[in-house]
Amino acid sequence: MIKLGIIGTNWISKMFVEAALQTGSYTLTTVYSRTEEKGNAFLADLDTDTDNVAVVTTLSDLYTNIDVVYIASPNALHFEQAKVAIASDVHVIVEKPSFSNPTEFAIIEELLTRHENVRVFEAARHVHQSNFKLMQQAVIELPQVQGATFVYQKYSSRYDAYLEGQEPNVLTREFSGGALYDLGVYPIYAAIALFGAPRAVQYLPTLLNNGADGRGTANLFYDQFNVTVIFGKNANSYLSSEIYGLKETISTNNIAELNTITYHDGDGNADNIGVAGTSNPMVAEASDFSRVITDPINEHVRYQQWWQLAKQVNQTLFDLRQSAGIVFPADIKD
């Protein structure tokens, strides 16, 4: 069994822990929280036996009894926390976006060369799901790709807090937040996984008063087509996402959730080519990561594919920010 530790006690940590336990490959051993009270409250909310799970309040104590750490802290904290884990020869599963910029990514990449047995995974759950793989195959079979429009826009309760004068982490540049680095990473990940890295990008954001982006439209330019990506945290959208062939169109109700995948043949016929997903959408990635951890030699090629994809996404997110003049404090560290 893979000994799992976690950083972060929010809803997504709970979802990942439950997904990991569902695979039968992990056992939860340690929870890191700023306070014991929050850590114990997190454990009490899990639907599993947690009597033997330790709650720690210092990172040095976290790495004493784990094989892999799941990091779901604010974006700007991922880098330093991952460095400590790698230096402790602990595998890392880090929520997307993994790191704030290509400089941080390169430092992590160099550190891994000195800890060759450690694996770092970016938790882009949707690209590991069965329906995403079915969408990939359908795209391959299109006679021609003429572009795509991906939409992921959900009103956030954190925006209510912002309107009340607060500064929630997810909507501040100080914590490498904003719409692009929260919801936008889902459709950007999907676009690059499907079509590769774009040759050029442009981001047109709607900025909040604190300089972070509340929503925006990103354009990814390829040689033969363009991809338009619409996302945000301060409004709701109910539009589907589409990939355009000639007469054919592939659509999904939600590019992050992928509940349905529909193939439209251009003659009015629509065929549901998707499958029913698991109740927990993080099971697929947790299972994929466990196979690499337990069988790194045979799973090396897949791991390298995921790593290169994460690297391309990281660069594209940074380039989009650059095009819009959005600077994070993490970009100008000494």
For 116: left if phi > 0, alpha if psi spans -120 to 50, otherwise beta; the answer is alpha
For residue 21 the two structure tokens come to: 């336990």
CA distance 211 to 172: 8
Looking at the whole model, is its pTM more than 0.85?
Answer: yes
* pLDDT for 334: 57
pLDDT tens digit sequence for 112-135: 999 999 999 999 999 999 999 999
* pLDDT for 47: 86
pLDDT tens digit sequence for 196-242: 999 999 999 999 999 999 999 999 999 999 999 999 999 999 999 99
Percent of the chain exceeding pLDDT 90 equals: 96
Closest CA to 97 of 180, 14, 15, 154: 180
pLDDT < 70: residue spans in the chain: 334
Q: In what order do the strands lie in the sheet with 213-221?
A: 200-207, 213-221, 226-232, 147-153, 241-244, 249-252, 261-264, 270-272
Question: What long-range pairs does 192-195 form, CB within 8 A, spacing at least 24?
Answer: 192/309, 192/312, 192/313, 192/316, 193/127, 193/132, 193/136, 193/309, 194/135, 194/136, 194/139, 194/148, 194/243, 195/145, 195/148, 195/220, 195/222, 195/227
Burial of residue 308 (CB within 10 Å: 0-12, 13-18, 19+) is exposed
Domains of the chain with bracketed CATH: 2-125 (3.40.50.720), 127-282+314-332 (3.30.360.10)
Going by the DSSP 8-state scheme, the letter that residue 157 receives in this structure is H
* Torsions phi, psi for 171 (to 5 deg): -120, 30
